Amino acid sequence: MKIETRVLNDVIVMELKAVQLNHKEPDRGGSSYSVLAVADLQVHLTHEQLVGRLPVLLLLLLRATSCSGARRKNIFKEGSRLSLDFTMTKTLVLPFQPLKSPAQKFEGVKFIRRQGPKMQLTLTQPDDWHLHLRDGDLLKAVLPHSASTFGRAIVMPNLKPPITTTAAAVAYRDSILKALPSNSNFIPLMTLYLTDTMSPNEIKLARKSGAVYAVKLYPAGATTNSQDGVTDLFGKCLPVLEEMVEQDMPLLVVHGEVTNPDVDMFDREKVFIETVLKPLIERLPKLKVVMEHITTANAAKFVLSCEHALLAATVTPQHLLLNRNSLFQGGLQPHNYCLPVLKRETHRQAIVSAVTSGSKKFFLGTDSAPHERRRKESSCGCAGIYSAPIALSLYAKVFEEAGALDKLEAFTSFNGPDFYGLPRNTSKITLQKAPWQVPKSFTFPFGDIVPMFAGETLEWQPCFNSD
């Protein structure tokens, strides 16, 4: 498909309004044709990735008063093509397919509008399905950044000591709630740290508590504070996994890397899929599994192609925006170091394609992992990227560049709760298209935290929440 655009700078973009028209042309044998007339559609929404999925012909009437002649040519047979030259606005070549039923509607990007010179996106408030909040002073410092954007979050259990019991998870949840700003409605969803010694009874207690929503599998040594992780998943841990199925525990959250020293660091995820994830799904087909922070084309392909309906994946902003060159350009970049490590560009592109495809199997999980600057900028720096303050802006950047802003809300706000069996949030959050600079650091009494993209300019800025 070929799409060309010419746009005036002064085009005012209003909220998308769709009108379905069913038309019968006597001079064409009485055949019925369906048309969707759309007024005031933002130009970037005409990208091929959006237009290609529309079930009907889009008539762009951006300047209807100057292109009234186009209205008389709005009925075409299936397979025909339309070329309209809207003087001083845009030229489009679009395919046409009739509506499958009179009730079918286009609902993709009705939340996009421009007020004055600034465009806005209004989204259902998102959730973060993979978040590190730490504890103590660090928890108090970083919690407001997540609570101001996200309604809920799956909170990781890799503290020192790790959260291995329901009692510890409830106590940790209470400390999070106590540290929240007074006006916050943020809800922490707690997890347990799976160990070789965990008992099936702990799963019963977790389920009964109503506070624990996941059990986290860390292969021993795979990431920060994972030294207490699993060494014998299909042996010592099998009774726990079976009890999770029995208790309908929401899911097993998986850090998808093997830790065998013979496996190359950049191949850990691929090997994990073949040696751990596939056997796990085959052995326990009723267990919900989320493969966290996928980083490779292998993982994206596996999740998309897997017939197992209970498999999904979270994706971080760094693995959508950065490749492994970002670790080394201009010298070693410790603030771009995370686990799993960034991969080559072909993998990044594959993940972007999967996430922006509209598949319900992918949803937002920042893996935001704060560390003090001194612990990152050291001879043995910690793994983890702090993205919570800017995460939503980064995801919007990814989807805009892919021409898929109509799919952003499902990724950030719908797919996660739908998979977990939780209600979607009812509150809203707005992103404004207004350039702003990411702080170079956040300063606290205990030290500085450097965020992802520190000092750089982003295009989308969260500006308010509303009910």
Q: What is the CATH number of the domain that holds 145?
A: 3.20.20.140
60 and 149 in a single domain? The answer is no
CB 215 within 8 A of CB 241: no
**258-272, 403-417, 444-458: segment of lowest average pLDDT:** 258-272
Phi, psi for residue 412 in degrees, rounded to 5? -80, -30
Q: Does the pLDDT at position 66 exceed 80? A: no
CB 311 within 8 A of CB 335: no
Mean pLDDT of 48-65: 35
Share of the chain above pLDDT 90, in %: 66
Residue 116 inside a domain? The answer is no
407 given a catalytic annotation: no
Catalytic residue among 293, 371, 376, 397: 293
Mean pLDDT of 355-366: 98
Q: Does the pLDDT at position 231 exceed 60? A: yes
CA-closest candidate to residue 230, choices 185, 276, 296: 276
pLDDT at 118: 75
65 and 156 in a single domain? The answer is no
255 given a catalytic annotation: yes
Q: pLDDT tens for residues 10-32? A: 232 222 333 333 333 344 343 33
295 and 160 in a single domain? The answer is yes
- The band of 410, judged by pLDDT with boundaries at 50, 70 and 90, is very high
181 and 105 in a single domain? The answer is no
Mean pLDDT of 427-449: 97
Residue reference for tokens 């009739």: 98
Mean pLDDT of 28-53: 36
Mean pLDDT of 247-262: 83
Residue 464 inside a domain? The answer is no
Q: Does the pLDDT at position 417 exceed 70? A: yes
132 given a catalytic annotation: yes
Residue 458 inside a domain? The answer is no
Residue 11 inside a domain? The answer is no
Catalytic residue among 90, 140, 145, 216: 216
Query: DSSP state, 256?
Result: -
Q: Last residue of some domain: 81, 110, 139?
A: 110
293 given a catalytic annotation: yes
Phi, psi for residue 330 in degrees, rounded to 5? 70, 20
167 and 205 in a single domain? The answer is yes
Q: How many domains does the chain have?
A: 2
277 and 362 in a single domain? The answer is yes
335 given a catalytic annotation: no
Domain enclosing residue 173, as ranges: 125-425
Residue 452 inside a domain? The answer is no
Q: Does the pLDDT at position 100 exceed 70? A: no
pLDDT at 274: 94
Q: Does the pLDDT at position 58 exceed 70? A: no
Share of the chain above pLDDT 70, in %: 73
Mean pLDDT of 180-187: 96
- The band of 41, judged by pLDDT with boundaries at 50, 70 and 90, is very low
Residue 115 inside a domain? The answer is no
pLDDT at 38: 37
338 and 258 in a single domain? The answer is yes
In single-letter form, the type of residue at position 410 comes to A
pLDDT at 213: 96
Query: What DSSP letter does each residue of 171-196 carry, written as one string?
Result: HHHHHHHHHS-TT---EEEEEEE--T
Catalytic residue among 343, 367, 376, 397: 367
**Is residue 356 helix, strand or coil?**
coil
- The band of 257, judged by pLDDT with boundaries at 50, 70 and 90, is confident
Query: What DSSP letter does each residue of 273-332 carry, written as one string?
Result: IIIIIHHHHHH-TTS-EEE-S--SHHHHHHHHH---TTEEEEE-HHHHH--GGGGTTTS-
pLDDT at 226: 52
Mean pLDDT of 266-289: 94
70 and 172 in a single domain? The answer is no
136 and 25 in a single domain? The answer is no
Written in H, E and C, the secondary structure of 402-467 is CCCHHHHHHHHHHHHHHHHCCCCCCCEEEEEEEEEECCCCEEECCEEECCCCCCCEEEEEEEEEEC
Q: Does the pLDDT at position 244 exceed 60? A: yes
99 and 202 in a single domain? The answer is no
Residue reference for tokens 């100057």: 66
Q: Last residue of some domain: 76, 110, 144?
A: 110
Catalytic residue among 255, 270, 319, 335: 255
Q: Which residues pair with 461 in a beta bridge?
A: 432
319 given a catalytic annotation: no
Residue 175 inside a domain? The answer is yes
Catalytic residue among 40, 127, 132, 335: 132
Q: Does the pLDDT at position 197 exceed 90? A: yes
Q: Does the pLDDT at position 85 exceed 60? A: no
Residue reference for tokens 């090997």: 271
Sign of CA dihedral 169, 175, 176, 177: positive
Residue 416 inside a domain? The answer is yes
97 and 212 in a single domain? The answer is no
pLDDT at 219: 80
- Tell if the pTM clears 0.85, that is, is over it: no
Joined tokens for residue 45: 């929404």
Catalytic residue among 40, 127, 128, 130: 130
Q: pLDDT tens for residues 320-348? A: 999 999 999 999 999 999 999 999 999 99
Q: Does the pLDDT at position 98 exceed 70? A: no
Mean pLDDT of 273-289: 94
CA dist 37 and 16 (Å) reads: 10
Mean pLDDT of 446-452: 98
219 and 268 in a single domain? The answer is yes
